Chains A and B, each alone.
Chain A
Amino acid sequence: MANERKLGLFSAIIMGLSGAIGFEIFVLLNYAYFDLAGPSMISALFFCGIINLITMLSYSELSAAIPEVGGEYTYTKVAFGGIISFMAGCLRWLASVFGGALAAIVFVNQLGVLFSVFDLPIQLVLVNASLLIVGLVVILIFLSVRGVNEATTLIVGAFLAIFVIFLAMSLGYTLAPQNIVPEASGNSIVVFFAATAYLFPMFVGMRALVAGAPQIKNPGKNVPRALMITTVLLTVVYFAVAFVAVGVVPVTTPITAESPPLLNLAAKEIMGPIGAILFALAGMFASVSSVGTAMSVQSSILGGMSRDGYLPNVLLKAHKRFGTRYVAIIASSLFVIFFGTSGAVVFLGYAASFGSLLVFALVNLSLIQLRRKMPRLDRPFKAPLYPLTPLAGIVMSVLLLTFPVILRDVNAESALLSSLGMVAIVLVTYYLRMVKREVDFNRLRVAVGGISFGAGVTLIVLTPVIAPPSLSIIMVLVGLVSIVAGILNILVSTRKID
């Protein structure tokens, strides 16, 4: 069935904004400001906007040339097919799971803030946080299976209105945040880039616009324009809100586990108790909406990959009455519950960011591959300064992945290692599902050998960063054994396949 194109430029911009403006601003600013970069977090946000803009140029070209459902998964499938598209789909799904789990945690946090405004016992929320998260996700599973759509346009409108009121009321204050540009020392630069990586999920939601490209009129013109306008608008709004928040809440403010997030503190300072209530409610609505959207995105990705034969068909199973893919929704939700109840906010922030950055790198690679593979493809929009633009996108993504690890941020290290572990599972799953029976065993050995080799290299590279000196030699030896084992498995099995 062909999709009806009925949305214009304005609707496309709203689609991008509603995808991006959400719960992230309530949670990510905190760690970036109080623990990482201090006031230079504002510049980090600006830098996020620039990096996002560069990759959005690639998205614009690809979405205009291939205006079909599936977004990143489709682009990588057309460009590379096979394992790369499978990996892009899985990483996108993972980023969505981590984002959904983070949103569930934010919901509980904001509920706690609301309790504190009304002097209700906040401990009641903190003690039952896991139970509340499970309850929220179960309710949303029910709503997602029933196919209830969230009023995202209303939410984005309400959000923008609240931000405008917040900014307008801040005009009465003398705001002069100091040190918003990072110092030119090595550590400051590393911390600045780590904050940029951590804040990155605040922007990536605007990919919703790409996913909705099949509904947009004249996509060749409207999608690129909407992507550019949305990026600029987002950068300006985030920059202004963060500037005000940093201006009224000093970085030296004592913060405990029960303290409200930076934005709530700033809202209370500028708008009084009304501001605290408004922002807490906005945070709750945004997180509920984000968990719902994440579930819908996850079921759509899993469904698409099942349709292409990468995952079991059971994930395509639709509800008899509501027609929604309830097995995929429930399967994804279990992961959201698992990570959400862990309460590891900083880890989840990094993990969501890393998943998205890897997908961004794959999208930029797809652009380069398609320019070489299909030079005559009709491209209503072309990324300017090719190949510098996609190359810059790839380099930036990889750099942002590495800086938090250089900083020895334990959350970033765990997030990166978990992402690599997930990539390993992806590889095995792919080979188990896709190889022909007669060479199954040897191909599986090649895959396991590849994982072993990769794990060994990763272990050796990360040893100076993560291991105490007393364990360094053991770690390097373990890494070397893994590398040799990987090479042997690959060599022997490849010979047998040939």
Chain B
Amino acid sequence: MKIRRILPAIIGIAQGVIGVLFGVLAIMLVLNLIEVQTVFNVPPELLSLYLLILGLFSVFSVISGLFLMREGWK
């Protein structure tokens, strides 16, 4: 029974962290912190699209991660 709780919690935390990191990356891209646009070779005209994709992935990862964490701690 324990594995049924532990696994979702671990995966949930991992996915939540990934979601947050993608969100942070999106913010870094907007502000171009540490020249991140150059590091990832992002063309300026496509910046808004990268943000859209990163934002979507981030939001869905955090939501999905939270669902799993809730399952683990219930």
Contact = CB atoms under 8 A, between A and B. Distances in A.
A455 B63 CA distance: 14
Given A481-B11, A485-B12, A485-B14, 17 more contacts: A342-B45, A344-B45, A347-B45, A347-B49, A410-B43, A414-B53, A417-B49, A452-B15, A452-B64, A481-B14, A481-B18, A482-B61, A485-B11, A485-B15, A486-B64, A488-B7, A488-B68
Interface of A: 342-344, 347, 410-411, 414, 417-418, 421, 424-425, 445, 448-449, 451-452, 455, 478, 481-482, 484-486, 488-489, 492
A481 B11 CA distance: 7
Dominant SS among interface residues on chain B: helix
Contacts of B64: 448-449, 451-452, 482, 485-486, 489
Contacts of A342: 45, 48-49
Given A342-B48, A410-B43, A448-B67, A421 B15 contact: no
Nearest to B17: A481
B11 A492 contact: no
A417 B50 CA distance: 9
Chain B's interface size range is 20 to 34
B46 A347 contact: yes
A414 B15 contact: no
B24 interface: no
A414 B45 contact: no
Chain A to chain B: the 8 pairs with minimum beta-carbon distance, closest first: A421-B56, A452-B64, A485-B15, A414-B49, A417-B53, A448-B64, A481-B14, A485-B11
Nearest to A343: B45
A113 B46 CA distance: 25
A209 B45 CA distance: 35
A451 B60 contact: yes
Interface in B35-61: 43, 45-46, 48-50, 52-53, 56-57, 60-61
Contact of A424 (B11, B45, B50, B60): B60
Nearest to B70: A445
Nearest to A471: B40
20 contacts: A343-B45, A344-B46, A347-B46, A410-B43, A414-B49, A417-B53, A418-B53, A421-B56, A421-B57, A424-B60, A448-B60, A448-B67, A481-B14, A485-B14, A485-B15, A485-B61, A488-B8, A489-B67, A492-B8, A492-B71
Contacts of B15: 452, 481-482, 485
B60 A452 contact: yes
A414 B46 CA distance: 8
B23 interface: no
Contacts of A449: 64, 67
A301 to B, nearest CB: 21
Contacts of A343: 45
A118 to B, nearest CB: 28
